[in-house]
Amino acid sequence: MSRQKEDTDGDLDARVRAASAMPTDESATFYKVLSRLDADPQRSPIQLPSLAPSMALASFAALMLAAGTAGYALPDLAAIDPDDQILALAFGGSDAVRDPFGLTVPGSAK
């Protein structure tokens, strides 16, 4: 039986460790990380917590203002008329304007 066949998991892991070994340079990594931190101060977490809530509040306020304004500005009679007509029909309204389907019997209107 070959030596590998007798390998335990520990032996195999040791081979994986040996095969994965290579020179690394932690100081170079540190330099690169610091240079990226210094080059990208906009994304610093010092600024994010202070900016994010205020921006979210401002966006929410703008959205509410736009929705409120739109609520008053957009509706017109054409949008309301169908409701009125349906209500008139449901309650037996006699007004011709409220009887678009011609269901009112002539002469029955008071």
Partner 1 sequence: MRAGWCDGSVRGILNAPAARTSVSDRTQAHTAELLSAIARKDRRALGELIAVHGRGLTLVATRYLGSPEDADEVIQDVFLRVWRHASRYDPHKARVKTWLYRITVNLCVDRHRRTSLRRFIGLDDPPVEIADPQPSAADRLEDRHTLDTVRAAIAALPARQRMALLLSAVAELDTGDVATAMAVSPGAVEQLLVRARRKLRAATNQNEDQTP
Q: What is the binding site for partner 1 (CB under 8 A)?
A: 2-5, 7, 9, 12-24, 26-27, 29-34, 36-37, 43-46, 48
Burial tier of 88 (Cβ tally within 10 Å: 0-12, 13-18, 19+): middle
Number of residues that this document lists for the chain: 110
Kindly tell me which of 40 and 83 has the beta carbon lying closer to partner 1.
40
Query: Phi and psi (nearest 5°) for 11?
Result: -65, -45
Least distance CB 72 / partner 1 (angstroms):
44
- Name the residue with tokens 């931190």: 37
31 or 60: whose CB is closer to partner 1? 31
Shortest CB 27 distance to partner 1, Å = 5
* Nearer residue to partner 1 within complex by CB, 3 or 110: 3
> Minimum distance from CB of 43 to partner 1 (Å)?
7
In the chain the first and final C-alpha atoms are separated, in Å, by 111
Mapped onto helix, strand or coil, the DSSP state of residue 97 is: helix
